[in-house]
């Protein structure tokens, strides 16, 4: 698991750019990497939760009880190590409350998130977008076979576009003969959000 800033992006900002149709090709790659890394982050958080509960002899029932009634945390439930200086300086009850707070935070994060859903979104994104070609061409490239209509349009574009441009130029020249020598027919692709 490679934990670096290049592998975890600001997913909310990327999604906002996608919704506004102003996302860059790198956004799709960053979104995919972030979703893939989210699975590893969840595994680490599960290990942290288990370690906290084991290390501090905290049961799931105690965590649930402390969530319902924070004043119910008792002193002897936890033993604090010497390397935990921030907790050592506190009374045992305060230390227990702090530990329960950490455990509850991690537990709630895990309960309110779906690793399966993140994995499914990552798989769907990879099924649609050719990540390697997108990175190389600096343009979002949809995989061939993902959408039959898009594949047909791509084929028409690559095989029929030159002839369509010649025909468009001829029609324009017929309508405006004086401008024929100054005009050229070109294709400017544009993708935009339809309201």
| Confidence check: pLDDT of 170 > 70 | yes
pLDDT at 77: 40
**Range among 53-67, 73-87, 131-145 rated most confident:** 131-145
pLDDT at 66: 58
| Confidence check: pLDDT of 4 > 60 | no
| Confidence check: pLDDT of 121 > 80 | yes
| Confidence check: pLDDT of 181 > 60 | yes
Cβ-proximal residues to 170 (8 Å cutoff; 6+ apart), any chain: none
How high is the mean pLDDT of the chain?
77
Find tokens 């959000």 and name the residue: 193
pLDDT at 129: 93
Q: What pTM, to 2 d.p., does this model score?
A: 0.56
Query: Model confidence over 5-46: pLDDT tens digits?
Result: 456 788 889 999 989 989 999 999 999 988 888 878 888 888
pLDDT at 57: 66
DSSP string, the chain: ----GGG---HHHHHHHHHTT---HHHHHHHHHHHHHHHHHHHHHHHHHHHHHHHTT--HHHHHHHHH-GGG--GGG----TT-HHHHTS-HHHHHHHHHHHHHHHHHHHHT--HHHHHHHHHHHHHHB-HHHHHHHTS--BPTTS-HHHHHHHHHHHHHHHHHHHHHHHHHHHH-GGGGGG-------------
């Amino acid at each position: 698991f490679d934990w670096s800033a290049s592998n975890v992006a600001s997913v909310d900002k990327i999604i906002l750019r996608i919704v506004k149709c102003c996302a860059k090709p790198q956004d799709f790659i960053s979104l995919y990497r972030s979703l893939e890394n989210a699975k590893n982050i969840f595994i680490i958080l599960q290990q942290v939760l288990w370690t906290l509960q084991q290390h501090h002899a905290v049961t799931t029932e105690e965590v649930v009880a402390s969530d319902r009634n924070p004043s119910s945390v008792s002193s002897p439930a936890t033993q604090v190590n010497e390397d935990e200086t921030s907790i050592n300086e506190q009374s045992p009850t305060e230390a227990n409350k702090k530990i329960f707070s950490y455990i509850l935070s991690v537990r709630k994060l895990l309960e309110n998130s779906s690793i399966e859903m993140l994995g499914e979104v990552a798989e769907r994104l990879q099924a649609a977008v050719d990540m390697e070609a997108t990175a190389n061409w600096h343009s979002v490239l949809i995989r061939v076979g993902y959408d039959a209509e898009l594949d047909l349009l791509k084929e028409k574009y690559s095989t029929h576009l030159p002839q369509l441009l010649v025909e468009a130029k001829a029609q324009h020249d017929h309508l405006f003969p004086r401008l024929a020598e100054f005009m050229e027919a070109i294709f400017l692709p544009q993708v935009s959000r339809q309201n």
